[in-house]
Structure 1
Amino acid sequence: MKKRFWSILVTAALAVSLTGCSGGAGAGKETGKTAETTAETTAQAASENGTAKEKAGAGKRVCIVYSGNLGDKSYNDSCNEGAKEAAADYGVEIKNLEGTSAEEWEANFLSACEDGYDLVICSSSNFEEYMKEHCASYPDVKFAIIDTTVEGDNIVSISFAQNQGSFLAGAAAAMFTQKTDIEGVNPDKIIGWVGGMDIPVLHDFFTGYEQGAKYIDPDIKVLQSFAGTWNDPLKGKELTLAQFDQGADIVMNVASGTGPGILEGAKEAGKYAIGVDLNQDNDQPGSVLTSMVKRVDTACYLAIQSVVEGTFKGNSTSYLTIKEEGVGLTDFSVMKEHLGDKFPEDIVEKVKELEEKIVSGEIVVENYTGFGANK
């Protein structure tokens, strides 16, 4: 399985780099609901490969707190996939706490702190301030945070070079907007980007996206909008349609549960989108050029693995780049099938070239202030 490959590649990085540390939400769920849901994963998942009693993590309890809902087909679902695989492999008990407001996030986090879990995983950077304030008060609890870095003797942090993945997405978008022989692509040199909440990690996404686009075409215009929420597909659709009205013909989704509205807007307008976090190419087939995959599932899995296998080391961080396959683009196969002979193969070739140049260091992708391996 791919996770096994990941464990081999990245466990070493965690064992070494985890000696030094230190968002998204759901479509198909009601916005603003009070969320405390228990994952029914442990017994079922463990039964796939034997009973929980036979597993190395039997008796271990892990709580994951989400700044949004599961069912987003994006960031949160990716995190949950990693948890479910860890439950299957190790027999750990998983509990999910979902929330759509800052009040719920903090309440869920404190509840997890108090309930005696072996590991509390904060799924996104929305929990950073709560961890800084409270983790030291729970020295016997192990914590992990994904998508940012928080220092603490009982904290590990796993973040990503989303700027690198977004560089590739921006380059692909800039090339695609030049293909005026494809239906829905206009002559304007304009592309778009719609984010969920206005937080630093999303600015890191945008920094890379804009740099990648301008690497292809320095004169291109890149529109930017924030929905201010992870949980409002209608808002995402509204902002996307507005960008199409301003001349964009392809918009990148970086909005978790708000994102399905972005993809739907592209389909409705006869335009195009780029997915995020998970492979969203089939969510609106023929309207999604590619997806910028971010391996949140891997981060969640590795955090759980470190507790089960006794390799957890506090005050440490890991940073997953293109080189470690922590970020990257999907293979364009869905769009290839949709466009047939009209599919621009030069985009695929260029993306491979840019990947190689980023890995070699020939291209250095800029970070938003405060992000990157040396932040």
Structure 2
Amino acid sequence: MRKKFNSKFLVAIFASIMLILSACGGEKSSNDEGKDSKGTSDTGDELSVGYYVNATLGDKSFFDSVKRGVDQAEKELGYKVKTIEGGTNQGDWAAGIESMVSSGKYDVILVGTSQTVEMVDELAQKYPDQKFIFFDDVVDQPNVYSMTYSQSEGSFLAGAFAGLVTTSDELEGGNPEKVVGFVGGMDIPIINDFKSGYEQGAHYVDKDIKVVSSIIGNFADAPKAKELTLSQINSQKADIVYQVAAAAGLGVLEAANEKGVYSIGVDSNQNDLYPGSVLTSMMKNLDTSTFRALEMFKDGDLPFGTHEELGVKEEGVGLAQDDLYDEHVPQSIRDKMDEIQQKLKDGEIEVKSTLK
């Protein structure tokens, strides 16, 4: 004889099963939580940023400056940070950046320079859900925020400073010739914009100043940079040289120091590398602007699909005016530079850019 199941018992079992399934299905794990349209986390999870260096760190200027901003974001904003150095072989860069993108590990990827514009443009289209912060040039895609710096304005300040130095009789390392030097990493549009601003600044001080220039051919060959600088000093009588060559530019500063003349650093404050020889540095404030962009990203306020240019007025560029500057630069030159910088901020001086 078959036993009959109690119907009330069956209902109780069914209700218990449904309650358990409902509880499991309604609870989201942290991996299921998405990001909102601006890249910020819905749950407050730790955000991750990948910084791709299309070179190596240790240049004491450009890429190191960006790294300082990334490190600050890690410390103060709680980002999880991964930095990958791509090396000097350009053929490796596209694959290196795509490897970061395809991993899906990063809420935002930080990369820059004109040498990677086409690579990032293609990847931004191929991976439309990946957010990028691009620095020092423009990638016009809806998932990319680009920030550039008015290197022409910053270099105008460097050129005016060089002009005041070469025409000064207060500095022991000067000579009677009105000649200033420029050493760039590569013959590319952005470096030519540096050069143009530098020439405009020097001629603002004295239209008869001669600007001699040399191009290294890359951003890593410090010995060649040193050789070119020595030629400018020995053969062409330059008594101050402006380097725009990242790690290679360290050779420029070394040469000027050895010959007892003057130099101008770039991107970061390099005054302390050779105090009294490096009189100032034209700073692209990549560190502060990088931190600013990552802070805006975290807050959901970073305007992807747009481009911002940061000049003297926005404090995106400027001269390093620290204790060493005060110690080694005559008061007359410091006063004149303050005047020129204020005129730039007020729009009384217009600097032409070769990129526009």
1:298-356 per-position Cα deviation (integer Å, ceiling 9, x unaligned): 22212322322112332111111111111111126315434xxxx42121111111112
Query: Aligned runs of 1:151-300 on 2, under 5 Å?
Result: 151-245=140-234, 246-300=236-290
Mapped pair 1:109 → 2:109: no
Structure 1 spans left out of the alignment, 5+ residues: 1-55, 371-375
Asked if structure 2 preserves the Cα contact closer than 8 Å seen for 1:57 and 1:92, the reply is no
1:123-171 per-position Cα deviation (integer Å, ceiling 9, x unaligned): 3222111012221110110011101111001000001111111111101
In the superposition, the TM-score normalised over structure 2's length comes to: 0.84
**1:49 match:** none
1:61-100 per-position Cα deviation (integer Å, ceiling 9, x unaligned): 2111112111111001100000000001122111112121
Q: Which residue among 299, 321, 326 is the counterpart of 1:309?
A: 299
- C-alpha distance in structure 2 between counterparts of 1:112 and 1:125, whole Å: 19
Asked if structure 2 preserves the Cα contact closer than 8 Å seen for 1:192 and 1:222, the reply is yes
Mapped pair 1:81 → 2:71: no
In the superposition, the TM-score normalised over structure 1's length comes to: 0.80
Q: Which residue type is aligned with residue 365 of structure 1?
A: V
Structure 2 spans left out of the alignment, 5+ residues: 1-42
Mapped pair 1:352 → 2:338: yes
1:89-126 per-position Cα deviation (integer Å, ceiling 9, x unaligned): 12211111212121122221111121111111113222
1:44-76 per-position Cα deviation (integer Å, ceiling 9, x unaligned): xxxxxxxxxxxx974322111112111111001
Mean Cα deviation higher: 116-125 or 78-87: 116-125
Mapped pair 1:367 → 2:356: no
Asked if structure 2 preserves the Cα contact closer than 8 Å seen for 1:250 and 1:273, the reply is yes
Question: How much is the aligned-residue C-alpha RMSD, in angstroms?
Answer: 1.5
Asked if structure 1 preserves the Cα contact closer than 8 Å seen for 2:156 and 2:198, the reply is yes
Structure number with greater CO (CA < 8 Å, separation at least 6) is 1
Residue 332 and residue 170 in structure 1: after superposition, are their counterparts in 2 closer, same or farther (change >3 A)? farther
Percent of aligned positions that are identical: 43
Mapped pair 1:121 → 2:140: no
Asked if structure 1 preserves the Cα contact closer than 8 Å seen for 2:220 and 2:246, the reply is yes
Query: Aligned runs of 1:9-28 on 2, under 5 Å?
Result: none
**1:324 match:** 314
Asked if structure 2 preserves the Cα contact closer than 8 Å seen for 1:58 and 1:90, the reply is no
Q: Which residue type is aligned with residue 303 of structure 1?
A: A
Mapped pair 1:147 → 2:136: yes
Asked if structure 2 preserves the Cα contact closer than 8 Å seen for 1:184 and 1:271, the reply is yes
Q: How many residues align?
A: 311
Residue 198 and residue 67 in structure 1: after superposition, are their counterparts in 2 closer, same or farther (change >3 A)? farther
1:175-219 per-position Cα deviation (integer Å, ceiling 9, x unaligned): 101124532211111100111122211111111110000011101
Asked if structure 2 preserves the Cα contact closer than 8 Å seen for 1:161 and 1:322, the reply is yes
Q: Which residue type is aligned with residue 298 of structure 1?
A: T
Asked if structure 1 preserves the Cα contact closer than 8 Å seen for 2:226 and 2:255, the reply is yes
Asked if structure 1 preserves the Cα contact closer than 8 Å seen for 2:112 and 2:137, the reply is no
Asked if structure 1 preserves the Cα contact closer than 8 Å seen for 2:52 and 2:97, the reply is yes
Asked if structure 2 preserves the Cα contact closer than 8 Å seen for 1:204 and 1:367, the reply is yes
Residue 126 and residue 85 in structure 1: after superposition, are their counterparts in 2 closer, same or farther (change >3 A)? same
Query: Aligned runs of 1:125-136 on 2, under 5 Å?
Result: 125-136=114-125
- C-alpha distance in structure 1 between counterparts of 2:44 and 2:158, whole Å: 38
Structure label with greater radius of gyration: 2
2:249 alignment partner, SS class: helix
Mean Cα deviation higher: 196-205 or 266-275: 196-205
- C-alpha distance in structure 2 between counterparts of 1:224 and 1:143, whole Å: 35
- C-alpha distance in structure 2 between counterparts of 1:57 and 1:223, whole Å: 54
- C-alpha distance in structure 2 between counterparts of 1:181 and 1:328, whole Å: 24
1:159 alignment partner, SS class: strand
- C-alpha distance in structure 2 between counterparts of 1:250 and 1:237, whole Å: 14
Q: Which residue type is aligned with residue 263 of structure 1?
A: L
Asked if structure 2 preserves the Cα contact closer than 8 Å seen for 1:123 and 1:147, the reply is yes
- C-alpha distance in structure 2 between counterparts of 1:319 and 1:281, whole Å: 26
Q: Which residue type is aligned with residue 185 of structure 1?
A: G
Q: Structure 1 runs of 4+ off > 3 angstroms? A: none
Asked if structure 2 preserves the Cα contact closer than 8 Å seen for 1:191 and 1:249, the reply is yes
Mean Cα deviation higher: 248-257 or 63-72: 63-72
